Chains A and B, each alone.
Chain A
């Protein structure tokens, strides 16, 4: 048995198929996981369209466009990393992974800056702190905003942790023994997280401007 294959698989192709299937199934459940948030979004938008009209423009669509571009480029570097993992180009792989991490971290930094900005302006999700009366209000809209982008940001953060461990493994492993399967699986995950953002971006930042 080659040393890159684990029980219970017979060969590395067999293992790669299984890992890919497992990752796709995992992403399937992630779709449902985020699906709840998008239904929550739809419900609030149908019941309280006025909130989106009133508070939607408070979101900074220019910054969000830069963030979208950042994530799109990171998807490209991730795709390169997967390619280099298969060709066992170790040095290029390390660079591509590092670039992906840097772009992901830049995204998170912009997100944090944005959060701080909103908190400074009192645009928080909290019902009590904001001093809102009963009923829907800015806390409803910003509650939605923080919950949706927060869970997405957590997924980006998780992706960064996994990317870092991939990078470390690649750093320690000689090129001849590099395993492409984990990079491939993480790549699928990273693209998925980017796609979620591609839905969040128009839904939150652009919706108020289009209606």
Chain B
């Protein structure tokens, strides 16, 4: 998608980019109109009120006019700014809020200097190129192995910093097949400029075919997570058919969890990651047993993605009560 030199914006290719473009055009029109107005007013004043024989000194300002116009100006700018603020915040809410129609396609994204690697749910891995279907919500789970990077796809009007030590999520729904540029937007060292990748958007059936053809070099993410789950013997406490000692994981993902200190959090990627690394931070309210030991240092960032993928796959499983 090559932009022509004077295109203001790159071709829009996601379901949220239309709204963002509208806001951009609106705010740019206001900036343009006000800037032009100020420039024209200065030129007009400089000519009309130019200093000349017989007009060496400016007129006195009327205090009443001053108060009225200044306050009016404040009022007008406040109203306009409030409008822009609200539009920006509402649009942002739309960008942040994952649509709840249909199952999202979960993609793991790992950034490291200076490349992007991706993991599909079936275990397919890709480097510097990501294939996704058009029309389906793609939910990204982003982490970094070294410094801060930023996942930026201009055509989707989407940007999310990828911070080491945190697990972030972002989503998009591409509207049209094509190849779109992904760039790292946060300066990350020598080859920052070349930390780019292609997002290849395909028709849904082509994506399925591509996925089937791919030489999958590992098991599906959730299965790999399941295997890791077993290797670490997490089931000893968390599995429902045993005498359960720890809170159940079935149906947990995406639901609110009541904590011991009275607050409540949504069980998202970041919560799960935190609970694995630092189990004593957010203890579930009605849980009485010993707190789980920390797994910090025992599982890598990529392995955490797998564990989270497994727990996510249990989102719709039925919990068996003990």
Contacts and interface: CB of A to CB of B under 8 A. Distances in A.
A and B touch in their complex, CB below 8 angstroms: yes
Contacts of B280: 49-50
Contacts of A47: 281
Nearest to A134: B297
A42 to B, nearest CB: 15
**Interface of B: prevailing SS:** loop
Interface in B272-299: 277-278, 280-281, 296-297
Contact of B297 (A48, A49, A50, A133): A133
A135 B277 contact: yes
Q: How large is the interface on A (under 10, 10 to 19, 20 to 34, 35 or more residues)?
A: under 10
Contact of B281 (A49, A134, A135): A49
Nearest to A46: B281
Interface residues of B, number: 6
B279 to A, nearest CB: 9
**Interface of A: prevailing SS:** loop
A135 B297 CA distance: 7
Contacts of A50: 278, 280-281
Interface in B119-165: none
Interface in A126-151: 133-136
Interface string A111-137: 000000000000000000000011110
A133 B294 CA distance: 13
A48 B281 CA distance: 7
Contacts of A49: 280-281
A134 B281 CA distance: 18
Contacts of A136: 296
Contacts of A133: 297
Q: Which of A47, A49, A50 has the most CB of B within 10 A?
A: A50
A45 to B, nearest CB: 12
Interface string A48-64: 11100000000000000
A112 to B, nearest CB: 34
Contacts of B278: 48, 50
A145 to B, nearest CB: 20
Shortest Cβ-Cβ A-B pairs, 9 listed: A135-B296, A133-B297, A50-B280, A135-B297, A134-B297, A48-B278, A135-B277, A49-B281, A50-B278
9 contacts: A48-B278, A48-B281, A49-B280, A50-B280, A50-B281, A133-B297, A134-B296, A135-B297, A136-B296
